[in-house]
Structure 1
Amino acid sequence: MLQKADPLRAFTTLVMAVVLAVLIGWILVVGKSVLMPIFIAIISVYVLLTATAALARVPLIGLLPEWALRGVVLAIFVLVLLLLASVLVGTAEQVMARLPVYQKNLTDMLESISTRFEIEEIPNLSTLIETLWGRINLQRIAAVGIGSVGSLAGVIFMAVIYSTFLMAERGGFARKIAAVLPQERASQAHMMVRDINRNIGEYLTVKTLVNVILGVMSFTVLKLFGVDFALFWAVLIGLLNYIPYVGSLLGVVFPVLLTLAQFGSIQTTVVVAILLTGAQMWVGNSLEPRMIGRRINMSPFVVLVSLALWSSLWGIPGAILAIPLTSMFAIILANFEGTRPIALLLAEDVQAVLQNGEEK
């Protein structure tokens, strides 16, 4: 009788899992404005706590009490965000003022190419170029982009508020788990939180350091060639590098297009593109693998799927948060026997998941 009931139970479990997944997806879409700052705050706290632990190992500074170290790290975090916000706002105003110049440079470049290669002999080609280019409204595109930046600034502001309270209440989290759950469950929950803290915290901290290095290299290249808004593009390149695979490509495309619009020179644009791509390749193929290693145990296919899923739900912020959030879910799934097979499907190193399961 039990054997006959097992297929029905498995089917029921599968149906409930699908329904739960659809429900969670619906909640993530509907509650985007509320949930996104909370998730950003949680991810930020991992970086802040890891930075606090590193600061505690510094001579003299490490003698400070833990609450003081957290306060110093949080103050630096807020200061960095304010500086980034000032760069974004200041750059947005300058871009709007420079757009007519960029559009004229591109138009002159197209006319020069047409004259040099005698493309004007092709019937109506010059008229076609003029018609297509006239339909591109750079000011409207920039206005949409600036509006998106303003919306993102509001999300970041709420994330800072949430991060402050999470940092303050972190000490009582362990006591709450012990009070709510039985001893065995509380111990399992502590181990799960410990794994999440270690994996996500180390990954985000090292990834942030890698992105800062990439941003400095990109800033040096852009400043060397006199590209407008070099600091803004360097910050954008560093932020986009949180997005696996796609982010590095976008990080090069945007400043390269601006270089073309600013100078109207294909030669300069090609050189800038080669140098920025070289920096991305060195960081992605040499520096990042050595520093990050296998802190995030997910297969490349799962990384792409999670990137597509979270970006479709929350746009660019979702793409940036895709890897940490998916990794958190994978660790949670690996801690329960019933959901461990799903964690095995998500993992790149299956033995690591099985070993952690046996330890628990």
Structure 2
Amino acid sequence: MKADPTASGAGAVESQDSRAEARADTHLIRSLLVGIFILLAVYALYFGRSFFMPVILAFLLALTLTPIVRFLRKHGVPDALSATFLVLLSVIFVASAGYLLSGPVIDLINNTSSIGLQLTERLAQLKQPFERIMQISHQLEALTETSQEPGVQRVAVAQSGILSSAASNILSAGTSITIVFVLSLFLLASGTMFYEKIVQSFSSLTEKKRALRVVYDVEREISHYLLTVAAINTGLGTVIGLGLWGLGMPNPLVWGAAAALLNFLPYVGALTTILLVTVIALISFDTVPYALLAPAFVLLCDIVEGQFVTPMVVGRRLEINAVAIFIAIAFWSWLWGFVGALMAVPLLVVIKVFCDHFDGLRHVGNFLAAQHTGVVEDEEISDTEKAAG
């Protein structure tokens, strides 16, 4: 008895359809699990920020100082000694900067109201087109005040525990800073221990070599990027501080330090520095044209740094596209505040470098890159369309 070829063909089609449905279901389940994992990770990072924030800062600091430790190791300096020296130097630098900047920064914070009044007076000639709008606004405020019932009194509730809250915040910040420096010290002093642990986690020699190569490449590229960017920002802050000091700006050290720190936020940091310098210059100098020299100088320094120095020193390969940068800054500032915003771009570079070393994640690294690496020419697209047609 001969088998029916039609029945066997139908069975093969049904088998292929069932396998395709199974693959689709597996892909859907995998996508749902990945989405759930991401939501849980964001939840953990938000509510566990007092733990994760100093730990990630410690890892970033250790990666920044790793090239120096490696260089000293080649010249016979033990890792523990070089790590202790570098961490102590970092502590001294941070403590000195905090001590020197604390006075001028506190004065600026305390004088924000007077700065606002002086800026308003300074820009009085530019307010004439808006005077009518301001008058209407004041009239609406007056109507709101008089519309209240005469017997109703405003009650101001004083917040209690201000001193205890401030003391708690200071204690928490001190604890986090201590964790950052102590953990970075142990990470730097451990040498190659983590690499040995990673190698021991794999069984075959091929997997050991591949894992070690990936870890070394990621560590080398990220540490080079972080150290280079930190050095560039320090140089930028120094140049801006000296230039503003030459122009007669008050507290040039504060603006140089602000430029160096805020430059870890591409686009946003430079714009913030220019706006702050513009406000202080307008209330500090007699004439508006001379006052605009200070923000113009900061803008020139930012253009030179962003368009020439950083691309030439760091290279185009590790550049991130602007959309990803803004999304990362918004996300990490919502998650961890200003400290999270400062860590946004370094963490984005870490993610990009890590994704570039794995075929399954290479499309994510390509999305984060500043330039599209897989551009298809128009002729190839037309040829493909012809072949498909």
Instruction: Check whether TM > 0.5.
Output: yes
CA distance in structure 2 between the partners assigned to 1:286 and 1:313 by the alignment: 32
The DSSP-based 3-state class of the residue aligned with 1:194 is helix
From 238, 241, 247, the counterpart of 1:219 = 241
From 16, 20, 43, the counterpart of 1:26 = 43
Tell me the equivalent position of 1:72: 85
Bigger CA radius of gyration: 2
Deviation at 1:182, TM superposition (A): 2.7
CA distance in structure 2 between the partners assigned to 1:266 and 1:307 by the alignment: 33
More deviation, 100-109/229-238: 100-109
Tell me the equivalent position of 1:140: none
The alpha-carbon distance between structure 1 residues 22 and 102, as it changes in their structure 2 partners (threshold 3 A), is same
Q: Number of residue pairs matched?
A: 330
Structure richer in helix, relative to its length = 1
Deviation at 1:283, TM superposition (A): 0.8
Tell me the equivalent position of 1:232: 254
- Residue type of the alignment partner of 2:325: V
Deviation at 1:98, TM superposition (A): 4.7
CA distance in structure 1 between the partners assigned to 2:50 and 2:116 by the alignment: 35
Deviation track 1:33-73 (CA, whole Å, cap 9, x = no partner) reads: 2111111110110111122234567xxxx343343333322
From 95, 99, 116, the counterpart of 1:82 = 95
The alpha-carbon distance between structure 1 residues 97 and 326, as it changes in their structure 2 partners (threshold 3 A), is closer
Deviation at 1:170, TM superposition (A): 3.9
Q: Does 1:109 align with 2:122?
A: yes
Deviation track 1:180-237 (CA, whole Å, cap 9, x = no partner) reads: 4434544443223212211111111111111111111110122112222211111111
> TM-score normalized by structure 2?
0.73
Matches within 5 A, 1:1-360: 1=15, 2-55=19-72, 62-96=75-109, 98-99=111-112, 102-103=115-116, 105-110=118-123, 113=125, 119=128, 155-183=176-204, 184-263=206-285, 265-296=287-318, 298-348=320-370
Deviation at 1:28, TM superposition (A): 1.2
CA distance in structure 2 between the partners assigned to 1:122 and 1:81 by the alignment: 47
> TM-score normalized by structure 1?
0.78
Contact persistence 1:85–1:153 (CA under 8 A) = no
- Residue type of the alignment partner of 1:23: L
More deviation, 96-105/120-129: 120-129
More deviation, 176-185/70-79: 176-185
Contact persistence 2:241–2:256 (CA under 8 A) = yes
CA distance in structure 2 between the partners assigned to 1:316 and 1:83 by the alignment: 21
The DSSP-based 3-state class of the residue aligned with 2:250 is coil
CA distance in structure 2 between the partners assigned to 1:30 and 1:326 by the alignment: 21
CA distance in structure 1 between the partners assigned to 2:33 and 2:108 by the alignment: 51
CA distance in structure 1 between the partners assigned to 2:257 and 2:37 by the alignment: 38
- Residue type of the alignment partner of 2:108: V
CA distance in structure 1 between the partners assigned to 2:348 and 2:201 by the alignment: 26
The alpha-carbon distance between structure 1 residues 128 and 48, as it changes in their structure 2 partners (threshold 3 A), is same
CA distance in structure 1 between the partners assigned to 2:24 and 2:180 by the alignment: 45
The DSSP-based 3-state class of the residue aligned with 2:292 is helix
Tell me the equivalent position of 1:358: none
Contact persistence 1:200–1:296 (CA under 8 A) = no
CA distance in structure 1 between the partners assigned to 2:370 and 2:327 by the alignment: 14
Deviation at 1:92, TM superposition (A): 3.0
CA distance in structure 2 between the partners assigned to 1:238 and 1:42 by the alignment: 21
